[in-house]
Structure 1
Amino acid sequence: MQSCLDIDNSGSKSGSDSVGFVMGQRVHLTGDTRRIGTVKYVGAVEWYEGNWVGVDWDNGDGKHDGSHNGVRYFEAQGPKTASFVRPHNLSSGVTLLKALEFRYHGESTKEEQDEMYVLSATNKKVSIELLGIDKIQNKLSRFEELTSVSLAYLGVSSAGPPGHINTTIPRLKELDLTGNLLFDWREIAAICKDLPALVTLNLSYNIMSHDISGMPLLNHIKVVVLNHTGICWKQVEMLKDSLPLVEELHLMGNKLRGITDIRLSENPIADPGKGGVPRFVFIARLAKVEILNGSQVSPRERKESEIRYVRLVMSKCHDNPEEIKKLHPRFAELKKFHGIENEKVANGATVPQKMSSSLISITLKCVAASIGEKAPLTKKLPATTTVAKLKILCESFFKIKSVKPKLFLQEEGSPLPTLLDDDMTSLFDFGVGNGSTILVDEEC
């Protein structure tokens, strides 16, 4: 009798297994803690005896889409990301302390030892010995002294009995749980409550449940990493009440495209004075945002922001499509939508050739207190004009002799202007486009 349907056989046991799995539970293949998936079905499969578990694999390495022999059992994330597996070939994970014991008290495997070698001049493997390894292992074995622990990809699925974690690792400040089987926020709450000294928690690549109700107040956590956890903005808003003192929140690789209203006040990422991202970049990257920091995003501002963003990416990444795809997922979509041509970059240039020969119309407003009132000036300048060159021009335009200019880009809807703080950077690279307004202030 088969132990797996539509995947390679990984066991010989047959008959009816005791299932013990529930929908939405995270599991890994027995013996392979990196082969992780989500339980989508538990029960019988037509024409086969016994119980089966339908798993949708994270890495997409399956054989079907949740159907078998024409019968639909569940919906998978892709056409070949799912498999039916015998229950005994799946693991529901271990407690945090079991993983801790394995990670820091377990002996190195033969495979790990075999990897510790260098190649000699004759290309032969020569085993190496790490100096001081005994001292390191001895220190790591004293759990009560640990302040930082990494339990990545060890099948952690629960906190275990209350109080046991605190008794074992009471001084822990940083905990990395990347790639485990955690999905229930109640287990996360139990772990955090048992670690009162914990400051940093990394849950990346744990596909978390959307049910965050009942989360207790955890006012000692300051850094939370939730990259690739399937979390959406609604869950982020629910979490903020439980994590009031969080200073850093990492949300890479999640589904946040539906945001329509976002406020980033008093946040370094949106503070031009601290090198934050300009307003037009936020608008371009967030396709559905309608209100940014309390200011309405008009159709005109969206169009101009997206065009400026595309050209900014083109000037920075040049001809590196892989880098663009990774760092700027909306680039190709926006480039096609706005009909922006492939503008080649000349050797040594920082902007496309077409842009380098074109002129942009900008308005200069003098706001320096010591200069006095000056009428705004509208000038047409090459997009390649550097900030240093523009400062020199401003000295001429406004008859400034004893004042050292300081320039800011004023963007529509942005409460604070963006400092143009790099003299060698071009206006184009700073996102200055046709119709932009630049404020001319003075150095303190």
Structure 2
Amino acid sequence: MQSCLDIDNSGSKSGSDSVGFVMGQRVHLTGDTRRIGTVKYVGAVEWYEGNWVGVDWDNGDGKHDGSHNGVRYFEAQGPKTASFVRPHNLSSGVTLLKALEFRYHGESTKEEQDEMYVLSATNKKVSIELLGIDKIQNKLSRFEELTSVSLAYLGVSSAGPPGHINTTIPRLKELDLTGNLLFDWREIAAICKDLPALVTLNLSYNIMSHDISGMPLLNHIKVVVLNHTGICWKQVEMLKDSLPLVEELHLMGNKLRGITDIRLSENPIADPGKGGVPRFVFIARLAKVEILNGSQVSPRERKESEIRYVRLVMSKCHDNPEEIKKLHPRFAELKKFHGIENEKVANGATVPQKMSSSLISITLKCVAASIGEKAPLTKKLPATTTVAKLKILCESFFKIKSVKPKLFLQEEKLFWTSQGSPLPTLLDDDMTSLFDFGVGNGSTILVDEEC
């Protein structure tokens, strides 16, 4: 009797398999903690005896879409991401302490030991003895002294009995649970409540339930990593009441496209001086945002931000379409919507292949009312010149020491676009280079003054 339908046959058992799985539960294939999926069906499969579990695999390595022999049992995420598996070939995971025991008390397997060798001059294997490894293992075996633990991809699915975690690892501050079987927020709450010293929690690649009701107050957690957990903004809003002291929240790879109002004040991601990104990048990447940091996003600002964003991406990733697709999912959509072309440049100007290391010719036009009429100047500057540096140069060029310059980019037509843009773009980030703002040969920069 088959133990799997449409995946590798791995053993057999009678049709009396006990199921013990529920819809939405996270499981992994027995013996392979990285082959993780979500239970989408439990029950009989036509023409086959016994019980089966329909699993939608995270890595997409399946054979069908939830249907078999013309009968649909569930909807999978893709055409070949699902399989039917016998219950005994699936694991529902282990408690956190079981994984801890395995990770830090488990002995090396023969396979692992066999890999620890070098070849001698006569091509014979010589085993390696790692100096100090006994001391390291001895330290790691004293759980009560651990302050940082990584239990990535070990099949953790629950906290276990209340109080046991606290008595075992009471000093723990950092916990990495990447790629486990956690999906119920009640288990996350139980783990955090049992670890009063915990500050940092990484739950990446655990597909979490959308039901966050009943989460207790966890006012000792400061860093939470929720990358690729399948949550949406509604769940983030619910979490904020349970995690009032969070300083860092990582949400990469989640479904946050429906955000209309976002506030990022005093947040490093919104501070270009700390490696963050400027306002126009947020507007372009978040298609539905209407209010950013309390300020309304007008149709004009959205259009200018999206065009500017596309130009920025093209200048940074010109020859790497795969990188663009991965890091900038809206790029192709925006490029097509705004009619942006790859190489069309106004007035015969050219876009250097390596603009960041080239000199570019720009025209500086003073329009500040208090300064009076000044003749335009054409200068050749490194593309890496920052806005702050250009402001200092403008003070010298136009002899305006008493005026604080404010710069705008104006061109008859935008680089790489056939659509005109009569509105100048404010160069609003002093730390950003001309290259990153899309300034190229033939560009005109207006020099105004701060009000």
TM-score normalised by structure 2 residue count: 0.83
Instruction: Return the offset for 1:249.
Output: 0.7
1:423 equivalenced with 2:427 (yes/no): no
Q: How many residues align?
A: 444
Q: 1:360 to 1:336 in 2, by over 3 A?
A: farther
Q: Identify the range of structure 1 (266-275 vs 187-196) with the bigger mean alpha-carbon deviation.
A: 266-275
Are the counterparts in 2 of residues 344 and 353 from structure 1 also a CA contact under 8 Å? no
1:432 aligns with one of 430, 435, 439: 439
CA–CA distance in 1 between the matches of 2:450 and 2:194? 52
* Local SS of the residue matching 2:65: coil
Are the counterparts in 1 of residues 198 and 221 from structure 2 also a CA contact under 8 Å? yes
Instruction: Return the offset for 1:349.
Output: 13
Q: 1:365 to 1:101 in 2, by over 3 A?
A: farther
Q: 1:151 to 1:433 in 2, by over 3 A?
A: same
CA–CA distance in 2 between the matches of 1:409 and 1:430? 9
CA–CA distance in 2 between the matches of 1:372 and 1:145? 71
Q: 1:61 to 1:275 in 2, by over 3 A?
A: closer
CA–CA distance in 2 between the matches of 1:37 and 1:16? 23
Instruction: Return the offset for 1:418.
Output: 12
Are the counterparts in 1 of residues 278 and 429 from structure 2 also a CA contact under 8 Å? no
Q: 1:384 to 1:180 in 2, by over 3 A?
A: closer
1:284 equivalenced with 2:291 (yes/no): no
Q: Identify the range of structure 1 (47-56 vs 410-419) with the bigger mean alpha-carbon deviation.
A: 410-419
Q: 1:370 to 1:96 in 2, by over 3 A?
A: farther
Instruction: Return the offset for 1:367.
Output: 13
Q: 1:154 to 1:426 in 2, by over 3 A?
A: closer
Could you give the per-residue CA deviations for residues 194-213 of structure 1, whole angstroms, max 9, x where no partner exists? 00000000001100000000
Are the counterparts in 2 of residues 206 and 228 from structure 1 also a CA contact under 8 Å? yes
Instruction: Return the offset for 1:337.
Output: 2.3
Q: 1:151 to 1:280 in 2, by over 3 A?
A: same
Are the counterparts in 2 of residues 315 and 350 from structure 1 also a CA contact under 8 Å? no
CA–CA distance in 1 between the matches of 2:82 and 2:176? 28
Q: Identify the range of structure 1 (355-364 vs 270-279) with the bigger mean alpha-carbon deviation.
A: 355-364
Q: 1:418 to 1:157 in 2, by over 3 A?
A: farther
TM-score normalised by structure 1 residue count: 0.84
* Local SS of the residue matching 1:347: helix
Are the counterparts in 1 of residues 350 and 441 from structure 2 also a CA contact under 8 Å? no
Q: Identify the range of structure 1 (344-353 vs 123-132) with the bigger mean alpha-carbon deviation.
A: 344-353
Could you give the per-residue CA deviations for residues 174-227 of structure 1, whole angstroms, max 9, x where no partner exists? 000011000000000000000000000000110000000000000000110111
Could you give the per-residue CA deviations for residues 33-62 of structure 1, whole angstroms, max 9, x where no partner exists? 111100000111111111111100001011
Q: 1:133 to 1:302 in 2, by over 3 A?
A: same
Instruction: Return the offset for 1:279.
Output: 1.0
Unaligned runs of 5+ in 1: none
* Local SS of the residue matching 2:347: coil
Which position in structure 1 is the counterpart of 2:448? 441
CA–CA distance in 2 between the matches of 1:415 and 1:97? 64
CA–CA distance in 2 between the matches of 1:301 and 1:377? 29
Q: 1:304 to 1:354 in 2, by over 3 A?
A: farther
Are the counterparts in 2 of residues 2 and 14 from structure 1 also a CA contact under 8 Å? no
Instruction: Return the offset for 1:400.
Output: 2.9
Q: How does 1:197-276 map to 2 (within 5 A)?
A: 197-276=197-276
Instruction: Return the offset for 1:384.
Output: 8.7
CA–CA distance in 2 between the matches of 1:311 and 1:279? 15
C-alpha RMSD over aligned residues: 5.3
* Local SS of the residue matching 1:236: helix
Instruction: Return the offset for 1:11.
Output: 1.7
Instruction: Return the offset for 1:15.
Output: 1.7
Could you give the per-residue CA deviations for residues 73-97 of structure 1, whole angstroms, max 9, x where no partner exists? 1000001111111111111000000
Which position in structure 2 is the counterpart of 1:60? 60
Identity value in percent: 100
* Local SS of the residue matching 1:34: strand
